Structure 1
Amino acid sequence: MKGQEWYQATEVAEEYDEKRFSRGGRLIDRREKQAVLNAIGPVEGKRVLEIACGTGRFTVMLAERGADIIGLDISSAMLQQGRHKAHNAGVDDHLEFMRGDAARLPFPDDYFDTVFAMRFFHLADTPASFLSEMRRVAKEQVFFDTFAGPSTRSLYNWLLPMGSRLYSLSDVEKLLSETGLRLVGAEHDWVLPYGFYRKIPDAIAERIREMDTTLIDSAIGDHLASVSYWNARVE
């Protein structure tokens, strides 16, 4: 995995949410959470696994809605932040955070109703093997996001020291077919890359986001999008 050691650093974990989801980054947080809720739907009573849960943004959100959820991550420091977040939200007894490797999930086949991963596949060096494991432990649904190429993300990606894997529609379709998954829904968004929004204040970000959304809603919006959210079902 790209950046694996970086994500495990305590100082990175402690500052992760503040650096990415403050200022204009709050727009990203809201949109990503809505994408997860749109795809998974009502979660009360569902057994859910989040891969690469990080600081638990989505794990805690779904626990608050009644999911029986496990958040798995390779970074102990990130998981510790998630546990603090769960405690503050009053759901620390309704979920479990577990350290583990997404390439070797410690669960039996078909164990979860839904398995999902956000902000993960752009770092995956062997995406097919990770998706295969997600599909193995999923009984019904697999959901994940990717950064799209070509898009404005391509230029931003070139400037990043760590870089990111970019995916086209054909790339994702190939991954799904290889792992026994069927695409049932997709959303495409964000003409401007995420990093742009994190650098600007809320008020300015809101106005720029309105223009961004107008472009996304146009006839060519899907071709301009830098992020895609993929909803797949187990065959």
Structure 2
Amino acid sequence: MKGQEWYQTDEVAEAYDAKRFSNGGRLIDRTEKGAVLDALSPVEGRRILEIACGTGRFSVALAERGADVVGLDISGPMLRQGHDKAVSAGVRDDADFLRGDAGRLPFPDDHFDAVLAMRFFHLVDDPAGFLAEIERVSRHQVVFDTFDRPSLRTLYTWALPMGSRLYGRSEVRELLADADLDLAGVDHEFLFPYGFYRQIPARLADWTWTVDESLRGAPGVDRLATVSFWDCRVGD
């Protein structure tokens, strides 16, 4: 998987949230959390696995709403951030953080009600294999996002520290079919890419988001959205 070494450093883990979710990045955080909670709700009492949980922002948000969450990541420093976040939020008993490889999940079949994988598929070398493994441990639902083409993200993805795999929508649908996952819903968001929003102040980002939403409402324009949120059901 791309970025394994990069995410292992204490410096990256400690600066991760501040770098991505301050200023205009706050809007990204709100939008992503909203998409996750809309897809997974109601979460109370559900057993949920978050793959590539990073600093635990989704795991903690789900635990705060009554879910029993396991956050799995390959980076020890990122997991420590998630653990500290859970302690601060008072949900340490409802959010466990484990170090592990998403390609070989240490859980039996059908172990979770739902599996979440955000900011993950753009890094994987074998999306079909990872999706099959994710489907294996879920008995009901799989939620994930992709960075998409064609989109403005194409203009700068080559400059990112570990690159970024971009997906066409037909490609994702083929992956879902191969993994025996049924598409329940999909939202296509952000004409302007994340990197742009992170560079501008929060108030300007909110105004830009209004323009973004308006443009995406025009016929055919949402095909240029940079991010898609996929909500899937495990087949019989």
Asked if residue 225 in structure 1 is aligned to residue 230 in structure 2, the reply is: no
Aligned-partner residue type, residue 213 of structure 1 = E
The residue correspondences of 1:121-200 to structure 2 (distance < 5 A) are 121-200=121-200
Which residue in 1 is equivalent to 2:35?
35
Which residue in 2 is equivalent to 1:93?
93
- The answer to whether the 8 A contact 1:192-1:226 is kept is yes
Aligned-partner residue type, residue 189 of structure 2 = D
Compute the displacement of 1:9 (Å). Answer: 0.7
Count of paired positions: 235
**Alpha-carbon deviations, 1:187-210, whole Å to 9, x = none?**
000001101111111121111111
Aligned-partner residue type, residue 191 of structure 1 = L
Compute the displacement of 1:212 (Å). Answer: 0.8
- The answer to whether the 8 A contact 2:149-2:224 is kept is no
Q: Which stretch shifts more, 179-188 or 219-228?
A: 219-228
Distance 1:186 1:221 in 2: 16
Unaligned runs of 5+ in 2: none
**Alpha-carbon deviations, 1:38-57, whole Å to 9, x = none?**
11111011010000000000
Distance 2:38 2:226 in 1: 19
Distance 1:120 1:59 in 2: 15
Which residue in 2 is equivalent to 1:66?
66
Compute the displacement of 1:162 (Å). Answer: 2.1
Among all aligned residue pairs of Structure 1 and Structure 2, give the percentage whose two residues are the same amino acid. Answer: 62
Aligned-partner residue type, residue 203 of structure 1 = R
Distance 2:69 2:56 in 1: 11
Aligned-partner residue type, residue 223 of structure 1 = R
Compute the displacement of 1:217 (Å). Answer: 2.1
Distance 2:61 2:217 in 1: 27
Q: Which stretch shifts more, 12-21 or 161-170?
A: 161-170
Which residue in 2 is equivalent to 1:51?
51
Compute the displacement of 1:161 (Å). Answer: 4.0
- The answer to whether the 8 A contact 1:63-1:94 is kept is yes
Compute the displacement of 1:59 (Å). Answer: 0.1
Asked if residue 205 in structure 1 is aligned to residue 201 in structure 2, the reply is: no
SS in 2 for 1:101: coil
Which residue in 1 is equivalent to 2:104?
104
Which residue in 2 is equivalent to 1:114?
114
- The answer to whether the 8 A contact 1:142-1:234 is kept is yes
SS in 2 for 1:93: helix
**Alpha-carbon deviations, 1:138-185, whole Å to 9, x = none?**
000001000001110111213324210001111101111111111110
- The answer to whether the 8 A contact 1:156-1:193 is kept is no
Which residue in 2 is equivalent to 1:234?
234
Aligned-partner residue type, residue 20 of structure 1 = R
- The answer to whether the 8 A contact 1:28-1:194 is kept is yes
- The answer to whether the 8 A contact 1:192-1:212 is kept is yes
Distance 1:233 1:160 in 2: 32
Give the structure-2-normalised TM-score. Answer: 0.98
Distance 2:161 2:118 in 1: 21
Distance 2:157 2:110 in 1: 35
Q: Which stretch shifts more, 211-220 or 50-59?
A: 211-220
Unaligned runs of 5+ in 1: none
Asked if residue 77 in structure 1 is aligned to residue 77 in structure 2, the reply is: yes
Aligned-partner residue type, residue 221 of structure 2 = G
Q: Which stretch shifts more, 165-174 or 24-33?
A: 165-174
SS in 2 for 1:149: coil
Q: Which stretch shifts more, 87-96 or 28-37?
A: 87-96
